[in-house]
Structure 1
Amino acid sequence: MKGKREFTESEIARLRELIGERAQAPKGKQTQIRNKMRRIGFYGQDDWGIHDCQLEDLDGLIRSGQITVTGATAPRPTGVATQPGGREQKANEVAQTDEGADELDCPDPDFKSIDSLRRNGFSGFVSVAALRQDLTQIPDIRGVYMVVRQIGSRPQFRATGSGGHYKGTDPNVPIEKLRMNWVEETCVLYIGKAGDEHSHATLRSRLRQYLQFGAGKPIGHKGGRYIWQLEDAEDLLFCWKPLPSGYPPKEETALLAAFKCQYEGRLPFANLKL
């Protein structure tokens, strides 16, 4: 299954809007609308065999229980001003609106490609396997980092990953949850930081903990743990952006907000909270 089976009330409402828009849109714009639906997690033809999805098709999936609608409605993001005609634009801070990334001037970087990440100051792009052999190539200063997977086929998930059991807690989650969290059309799986006013962690020390956790050691780095349930976890790439005079938490927050802006309010696959 490419998409997901569980949607919030606001996601279903947005899908209804998009289905209505697509029915009236010229053929050239229908692909853009379909991609917005996919970013929400709805793959009509691939998952349900529905070609040219109509509102009654969506309603039928809900009535039959093939799609579940959760009772919690996602809050509408703040910081968005409404202009005449109903079009929304980004206000002072980065925010995600229901109009999606194609309707916003979302900030860089473009999370689809490694080239874009490089242009925005990220370097490294070294595999997990290679870093296990040599950590010295990671800067020993604070900064932000990402876990990257080349865009390609959907990954295979493992019921039991390699993550450590910190304080006896099983880090593994059901495969269906991993599938629901997967975000299409991005190479970024996780965004993290190293160092703040309470910590002297550096990129090297933080990524050492991350890798040790992924090797099964009971290390306190549960953040980003979903990557260790990927079959190709050892082939994933780590990249980093040193911030010798910057503030990593602020940079991390900005990156996550930019990602949400581009992907219909969703976080990277392995980021569990903003």
Structure 2
Amino acid sequence: MKGKDTFTMSEISELRSLINERINSDRSRQKGIRAKMRRIGFYGSDDFGITDLQPSDFEMLISSGRLKVIGKTNKPPTALEPVTKDTIKQTVTGKANGSFKLFDPSKHSSNDIPDNPGNYIVCLKEGKKLPNIGVDYTMKTYQGLNVIYTGIAGKSLRKRDYRQHFTGNNAGSSTLRKSIGSLFGFPKIPRDKDPNNVKTKFKELDEIRLSEWMQSNLILFYKSNLNPETLENELIDELNPPLNLSKNRNIINKEFRSKLSDLRSKK
């Protein structure tokens, strides 16, 4: 082994940041970032046989025990382990490393996401921003990235998280798509031909533009969970995502949420 397989929590945190920086950098910068990772003692290709290391690969090394973290139990979690309130707090504060798995819609396959119920957190990629609507808002971070939304999948994370949010062509079926498209000011049209259905979506070209923007600008963290509702409430309270309108009573970002609600209602 050229490097090492045991790291401190601070080293793991620094490696996570470097990995995220590397995948968003051009080739001229990636070599320097790899050198920084090696100075910490991490050799992805030589020691673990991984080329073009992705955040999900790094988290898998941790959860499988191939990478050991000082102060952390490396027992892999059960796929559908019920989540307790204590686990929720650790997840939010980052103490339970690997609890949520990272998915980059611009790089990873949807087959990486389990076909199980669970929770998800949506973040902006480093340096990315939401469309400006003239109202200030604040964001908390998860694994160093700004959180904009959290939600649940009652049946399938794969179908709800990726297919409806990131590749769907109907904002009427995705609260997240509806909110982001409304921030862009896309005009709305009826979702279907039923005159009694007041739900709306965006024009086909705008739906395509929305999917492309989301895949280029957003990162998804997901967690299989048999009881996602309890964790959802905890995450909304703890993270106060600006795009979560339902169940969010935090006075911070109240003006932004009110403006977003108006934009969502606008035809």
TM-score (norm 1): 0.39
| Greater relative CO, 1 or 2 (CA 8 Å, sep 6+) | 1
TM-score (norm 2): 0.40
Higher helix share: 2
